Amino acid sequence: MSELDAVRSVLRRQRAHRSFTDQPVPEDVITDILELATRAPSAQNCQPWDFVVVQDPDRRAAIWELASRLWDMGAKDATDGAVPDTMRDDVEHGVRRGFAGAPVSIVVCANAERWDLNLMDSSIWPATQNLMTAATAHGLGSALTTIGTILVDELRAILKLPATLTPLAVIPIGHPPKPLGSSRREPVSEHTHREEFGNGW
């Protein structure tokens, strides 16, 4: 397989996983995933990310309990009618049980000592995408979640984060119980324009 074919294969398999087995993820694999995450671009190469790797079951449960509370506080209602019922049910399973079952949760934090917090998105999200892509390449499942970061003070307390670190995402990582296959996406032609809006690709 060529390098390009390998990249295509990984990117097409990148899916949101909401169920995981309890099979541990080796430490060297976690380290490799994190190292590849840091290969992402960042503003002025400031590298404003900090990752908190959470493997302790009680601490993981506490993190995902925050997400479950947010779901009950209104996040569930926000999905009603916005997504198919099957997807809403799948998300609810992840929030209530599935994500907490992943043996690793990685909290992606923005470090305000390295870059302006208001300008952080363009640096943090590429690293987060790299992290999930690397997990996929290792045969692992992951999901991008932000719901657990809304109760930021409580999450900070669980992780003992200093005020300079703001958690922006929590990524569960683990072995999926079954392969999900290729991601489902609309054709590129439905989202792409040639030279100006309205000219088809």
Q: Mind listing the pLDDT tens digit for each residue in 103-159? A: 999 999 999 999 999 999 999 999 999 999 999 999 999 999 998 788 999 999 999
d(CA 97, CA 149): 17
pLDDT bin (cut points 50, 70, 90) of residue 23 is very high
Tokens of 171: 């990524």
Other C-beta atoms closer than 10 Å to the C-beta of 32 total: 15
- In sequence order, which ranges of 18-150 are alpha helices (DSSP H)? 27-37, 57-70, 76-79, 85-93, 121-137
Q: What is the pLDDT of residue 103?
A: 97
Among 38-47, 51-60, 74-83, the least confident range: 74-83
| Whole-structure pTM value | 0.91
As a whole number of Å, the CA-based R_g of the chain is: 18
Ramachandran region, residue 160 (left: φ > 0; alpha: ψ -120 to 50; beta: rest): left
Does the pLDDT of residue 74 top 70, yes or no? Answer: no
Quick: pLDDT tens for 143-170: 999 987 889 999 999 999 999 999 999 9
* Residues 169 and 149: beta-carbon distance below 8 Å: yes
Residue 142, CA distances (Å) to 45, 176, 193 in order = 26, 9, 31
15-177 topology per CATH: NADH Oxidase (3.40.109)
Average model confidence (pLDDT) for the chain? 91
- Over residues 16-34, mean pLDDT: 96
